[in-house]
Structures are given as C-alpha cells and as structure tokens.
Structure 1
Amino acid sequence: MGLWRKSGWVSQGLSDTKLKEGDLLVLWGPQDRLEELTKHNGFLVFMRFVAKAKIRSKMGLSAAIMLASIVAAATAIVPPHIAFLTGALAMVLTRCVSVSQAYESIETKIYVMIAGVIPLGIAMEKTGVDKLCAQFITTYTQGWPALALLLVFFWFAALLTQILSDAATTVLLAPIALAFAKTASVSPTAAVVTTTMGAVAAFLTPIGHHGNLLILTPGGYKFSDFMKIGLPLTVLLSLVTAYLSLLVWPIQS
C-alpha cells in the first residue's frame, strides 16, 4: 500500500494518516474488497491491476531459452522467425508459460494494423509515390551534409509517430527513406535505421505511446511535462543515432 500527496510519497505512519482530498492511494488486497471501493462516492478508481502468480523456479530456464533464441537469430544459425518461434514453443513445453498465457499475450490489434499498413507501403513503392516524396525532399535538402539529411528523416519519423504507431510509421517512411538514399550520398541502411529509431522516439507527447497515457493522470503530469523531458531526449537520441549510423554505414560515393 502507498499514499501519494502533492508534497510527495507518504511512506511512514500510513495507518495513522488521515486521508485528504486529492490523495492518491495504491492498494493491495482481495478483489471483492477492492470492488467495494468502486461503489464508494469518496473514491475514484483510476486503474485496476490484477497480478498473477509467477513461477520463479522457471526464471533461469526462461532466461536461458530467451538468450538462446537471441543468439541463434543474431548469429544466423537459423532464420530469426524460426529462432523465436522455437523459443516460444520451448517456453510452453517447459511450462514457463501456459498455453492460455501465451494466447493472452498476443496483441491481435497490432497484427491487424501491420497487415493493413504493409500493403500501403508496398503500394507507395509500386506506384512511385515513394520516389515522388524522395524527390520532393531532395529538392529542399540539396547540398546538405549527410548528418543533416539523416536528422531530417529521424525527426520526420519522430513527429509522425506521435499520432501513428511505431510500426505504421516505419512501414510508411521506410520506402521513402530507401528511395531518398538512392538519390543522395547516404547509405540506404543508415537511412532506414535512422528512420526506424525516429519511429520509436515517442517521448514528445502523452499520446505518442500508450505507456505515456497510463502514467499521465496517476502521475499528475501535464502535456507540457512530456515536452520538457521528451524534447531534449529526442534531440540527444537523434544526434547519437545519425552520428552512429554514418559511422557504421559510411557515406556512399
């Protein structure tokens, strides 16, 4: 149990502390008792969290399976999809997770969204829209250094991902980045990697990622709070990503 006030967390003497308006409580207990609070006019339930028992005896085994899957995929012993599918199957067979838990962890909405966005990316490539967008960008960035060009794509992706998911942003912008790299002195790999990193930089707004929304109200944050922290963090990430991309994948001659 925990108690948070505007002055900070109250960690001592909770049993003797009188509740005040605006107090934020973190409670643990039987589900039926917690349900009673939802009917009480004096409390507003922000977020329910139902914990599940963890099989701690399987921690080492599950970590070993995960590590083996990553190593197998990274070293190209087997294709990545085979490595991770085998790892997932091993988790179930060794009872690190149950079949029902495995099914519950599948986010079907993500797969449906990606299945819808991928054809859009392919259509952009087939119809030449990606080349048209690349030519438009080239017109306004002609003569720019490679670092600046990568920063353009990073920030384009970072801003778009605030309203779209990272997967959708990557699928939409990757064809444009590839087409642009062919007309500029930039490695295609560097352009795509920079764009992908920008697509996951969802720090600028609370709507950029569902995790941001989860902590917005309970944490007492404002929209501007994300900008205060997210903007410097995104600037730093963009510079590091663009610089390392050029270092690992040099400029094409």
Structure 2
Amino acid sequence: MSWQAWATVAVIVAAMGLFASEKVRIDLVALMALAALVILGVVSPAEALSGFSNEATVTVAAMFALSMGIERSGALEPLSRLLMKIRRPWLLTLALMLAIAPLGAFIKNIALVATFLPLALKVCQRTGTSPGRVLMPMAFAAQMGGVCTLIGTSSNLLADTLAQKHGMPPFGVFEFTELGAILAVVGIVYLMLVGRWLLPRHIHTDMPVQAEIGKYVTELEVTENSSLLGKSIADAGLGERYGVYPLELLRGDRRTWSPRSQKITRGDVLLVRGDWEKIEDFRRQAGLRNAPEGHYAHTDDRQRVLAEIMVAPASPLEGRRFGETGIGWRYDAVALAIHRRGQVLREKLSDVALAVGDVLLVLVPEEAMTNLRNDESLIVLSERENAHRTPRKALYAVAIMAGVIVASGLRWLPIPIAAICGATAMALAGCFGRKDVYEGMDWKIVILLGAILPLGVAIEKSGLSTAVVHAGMAVVGSHGPLAALFMVYLLTALLTELMGHNPSVVLMVGIAASVAHAMHVDPRPFVVAVAFAAATSFATPVGYPTNTMVYYAGGYRFTDFMRVGIPLILLFCALSMWLIPHFWPFQPLTR
C-alpha cells in the first residue's frame, strides 16, 4: 500500500478509538479526521469541503426540520392519548412497537422515542412494571422502522449518495420498504416471544418523581430552626434514621470531605444523596431547605412544578454546567438535585458538568413546561399532560410531510428539494417557531455527515479500498457472491457498534461496491446490505442514539443489550442473506 493508504488507516483507527471512547464529541472527531486528511495531503481542500454541500447532508438537515414540525405541532398527541389507556405492560410493549415502527420510516427516531418515553414510564409506574421490560423494544422498533424508507434514517441517505458516486442509479424512497417491513415484523415477533425472556425482569431504575428516581445528589441548607444545630452528622444518624447519606459539608468557601464529626451550624450546606422522597422527608423533619431554592428569588405567585429532565444524546448541553446551559433564565427554572447513573457525584450542583443521561430535578413555572418539552436538548420525564396544541397545525404538518413523501417517491422533485420545500412550508404554516428550527436542529449529526464524507474519498483515492478488497476476496475465496455479501454485512454491523452508523456507511459503501466489481456482479445488493446492517444496531447502547436514551432511562446494563441484541442482529443477517438477493439479484455486470 502507498503511504497515503497507511496514513488513511491511521486516521481511521484513531477516529474509531475516539468514537468508541465517547470522550470527544462525534462531530469534533469527524472534523479532526478531516483536518488530518487535508494536512497529510490525502484529500484536497475542495474534496474536504465537498461533504457539506452533499445531497445527503442537506437532506438530513431538512428532514430534521420536518420531524420537528410533526412533533411540535402535536400530530402525535392523539396516538399518545390512545396508548395511555393501556394497562398491561406486554400489550404496551407491542402497541408501542406497532406504532413507532411505521412512524420511524418518516420521523426522526430520537424525536419518536423522546415523545413516547414519558408515556411508557408512566404506564410502567402505574402497573408496577420495570421500564426495562418496555424501553429496549421501543428503541429497537424505531430503528426497524427507520430502515424501511430511504428518508427514514441518515445512513440510508448516505448509502444512496455514495452509491451514486460509484455509478449506481439512485434508490427509490420506498425501495427498501419490502425488505424493511419483513425484518420489522420478524423483529417484533422475536422481541415479543424470545426477547422478553432475555430482558432483565427487575431493574433499579430511574422512574418518574412519583416513584422515586434513583439516588439524587442535592444541597440542603441548615436554617435557624433546624433540629440539627449543634449536632454532628454522626450524632444525627442520617443514614439510619432517614435513609439519606451525607457526602460533604460546605461552610462558606470551605469544603469538609469527612463531615461526620463536624458540629452543624446555621448556614451550613449539606451535600446529601438518597431517594428524593426520603430527602424531602428528611428536609421537612430536620428543618432544612433546598439550598438552590433558597437562593432563588420568587418574585411572583405563579404555580411552580417539580419536573425531571434528562440530558438527551447529542445535546449541546453536554459538558456545560447548569448555569451555562441557559435553562435557568430561559425557563425561569432552578435545579434542585441531580442524578447520574452509576456514579456518586460529590460536586456542588453549580459545579457539575452535565453528561448525557443526567437527570435533573428542576422547579419551573407550570406555563414554562410546554417550552421545556419542546427543547430537543432535553427529555422531560415528568408525568404532566402536554399543553393543548392547535389541531389545525397538526393537520398542516401531516399534510406537508405526506406531500414531501409523494413528491419524492414519485420523483416529481429530488429528495433534497422536496425536503427543503416541506421544511419551508412547515415554517410558514407555523408548525414550529422561527427559532425552533435552528435551536432544535441536531447540528452534531449535520457536521458529522459533512466532515466524515471526505473519508470515503480518501479511502478510494489512496488505494486503501483496493487493498481491503483484495484481502477480503482472499478470505471469501471461491465461495461466491453470497459469502462476500455475508462478509460485508457482518463487517458493517461490527463497525456500527464500534463507531456509529454513519461513519460505518462511509467506510463500507466503497468497499462493498469494489467487492461486487471484483466478483463481476451488481453492487446494489452489497450497498443494501451495508445500509441495513448500519441502520439496525442492537448490540450496544452506544451504537444508535435511541439505544443510548433508553439505556439511561431504563437502567440497563451494557450486557443487557448484548444478550437481546446480538441474536436479533444474527437473525436479521440470516434473513438478509436470503432476501437481499431475492429483491436485488446478483446480476452479472454488463460491459
């Protein structure tokens, strides 16, 4: 291989390591890889910037706006109200999958799961069922639906764009539907008959406020009427009497890490950990007050509610302290406590850098809840009814989305143009606010697509693709195109679990096309295998954003996804090996 090929390998390996570690944001990793390829001279500046004007990048951005219009117009509310009537958890699981899978073909998966997550939690709390029995199937169904259409997931659009660069005709909007629908039905049957026995039965999880959400860390200030005055924490016996555990004592600017022997005085702030209900009982009985709330000026008599909000995947709030997020001044909110799964936080609330999956307990005016729910960087887990939305706007949103699907499906307009027109129409119809489309856009994904696409150019230009294909053909030998298809599918599935669905598509489409050309068969079935393997990531909680969301909310362990997801991936792989050649035959290449 040339030195450019080795340099590309080094960039890919480094990017994969950073993607898998999750220590650096995915869009930043992609930009770092892009910069390295330009500096090394593997791609030209024009090639490096080509990804940001690519049809897939533009279409994904426009589809985000369309999904937002559907969600914020209230078009999903009638379905939500219908699902709320279900009392049995197994029936809720089935109903959620049957509802989400078709919707996932046209609406952003993250928006779907965020919409139905509080509903699922409420039914689980009402019936005394662990959310772990419901949330993972719901997330998987969103992925199964997304792969059913060309516009259902960004990886499908990427695969189509890259396939066209290799001389293939574009895929139709519904070309994936037959195969996707069969896999979705089989997947739902598997999750109901087999997966339910592999799911964890009892999980200590993050339930809504009414059911005590895990172990919160909060600050309690000692008042002049507190029964703790003059006592030490050891004498007070907080753990034994109240089930609340002191982590630290704050006295002015001084922090005491071992506070058990310290005499408590007025104005001291105790950093404590426990279930919220027990913390509240302790606060009332001991005459304490929530320290953040104590410093919060109540200047009016508006009714305030206690709300739980979770930091969503790809949220711009990640890495910021609460005061830097703008939640306080935007929603007139104050943070009372924080819960981070798997960790005991020992910092003051104001010093904690937020992470994906953190659950904040906030006090907000009731009228601010609507805007809080519309914030795509957060997921509201509270059990409150949404504010009434205008049915007319919901009808507009559904009609516009249908128009985009028809116009692109019948090829009246190219998909990017149809999506842009639809997003513009939704804005004019008032389906979302003027600023919503920019604030709610998942810019991480847009930047990731623009920056990662030139990596495919580097793979082809450096000769790395040819070297990989030769190595792969040596492994496949004379076993024919089906064996090669199997190799491409499994390699894509593995890369997806390590680095996410979009980067794996960029890496694999060129290789898949080259494998097909080496075997003198049509490359389309190989590209389809890449698209389906990348869009159905079930084995880890980090392979797909919807998995990450339910991983935190459902209290799963990493191995829970492996136990349920790996058999499902193998089942999909086996079915795909049978069905892909049926729908896209291995026709010999014509010269």
Please tell me the TM-score bracket, short chain as reference: 0.7 to 0.9
What is the root-mean-square deviation of aligned Cα atoms in Å? 3.0
- Say which SS state the counterpart of residue 38 (structure 1) adopts: strand
Aligned match of 1:183: 518
Pairs within 5 Å for 1:170-209: 170-209=505-544
Find the aligned partners of 1:247 and 1:85 in 2 and give their Cα distance: 34
> Unaligned stretches of 5+ in structure 2?
1-120, 132-203, 211-302, 308-333, 340-344, 346-356, 361-368, 375-386
Aligned match of 2:474: 139
Pairs within 5 Å for 1:119-158: 119-158=454-493
- Say which SS state the counterpart of residue 190 (structure 1) adopts: helix
**TM norm structure 1:** 0.82
Aligned match of 1:58: 393
Q: Which has the higher strand share?
A: 2
Aligned match of 2:423: 88
Find the aligned partners of 1:8 and 1:248 in 2 and give their Cα distance: 41
Amino acid at match of 1:73: S
Aligned match of 1:252: 587
Aligned length in residues: 238
RCO higher in structure (CA 8 A, sep ≥6): 2
Contact 2:205 2:555 in 1 (8 A): no
Structure 1 residues 8, 87: closer, same or farther in 2, change over 3 A?
same
Contact 2:501 2:543 in 1 (8 A): no
Amino acid at match of 1:178: A
Are positions 1:26 and 2:208 aligned together? yes
Bigger Cα displacement from structure 2, 49-58 vs 130-139: 49-58
The alpha-carbon deviation at position 46 of structure 1 amounts to: 4.6
Find the aligned partners of 2:205 and 2:551 in 1 and give their Cα distance: 16
The alpha-carbon deviation at position 9 of structure 1 amounts to: 5.7
- Say which SS state the counterpart of residue 92 (structure 1) adopts: helix
The alpha-carbon deviation at position 119 of structure 1 amounts to: 1.0
Contact 2:338 2:359 in 1 (8 A): no
Are positions 1:38 and 2:337 aligned together? yes
Amino acid at match of 2:440: S
Greater C-alpha radius of gyration: 2
The alpha-carbon deviation at position 147 of structure 1 amounts to: 2.8
Structure 1 residues 144, 92: closer, same or farther in 2, change over 3 A?
same
Aligned match of 1:17: none
Q: 2:404 aligns with which of 55, 69, 85?
A: 69
Structure 1 residues 36, 248: closer, same or farther in 2, change over 3 A?
closer
Contact 1:147 1:242 in 2 (8 A): yes
Q: Percent identity?
A: 29
Aligned match of 1:104: 439
Bigger Cα displacement from structure 2, 63-72 vs 215-224: 215-224
Contact 2:473 2:515 in 1 (8 A): yes
The alpha-carbon deviation at position 232 of structure 1 amounts to: 1.7
**TM norm structure 2:** 0.37
The alpha-carbon deviation at position 67 of structure 1 amounts to: 1.1
Amino acid at match of 1:81: P
Deviations 1:42-82 (Å, cap 9, x if unpaired)? xx995259324544332222111111101111111111111
Find the aligned partners of 1:179 and 1:9 in 2 and give their Cα distance: 47
> Unaligned stretches of 5+ in structure 1?
11-21
Find the aligned partners of 1:116 and 1:103 in 2 and give their Cα distance: 19
Are positions 1:8 and 2:129 aligned together? yes
The alpha-carbon deviation at position 140 of structure 1 amounts to: 0.7
Structure 1 residues 23, 142: closer, same or farther in 2, change over 3 A?
closer
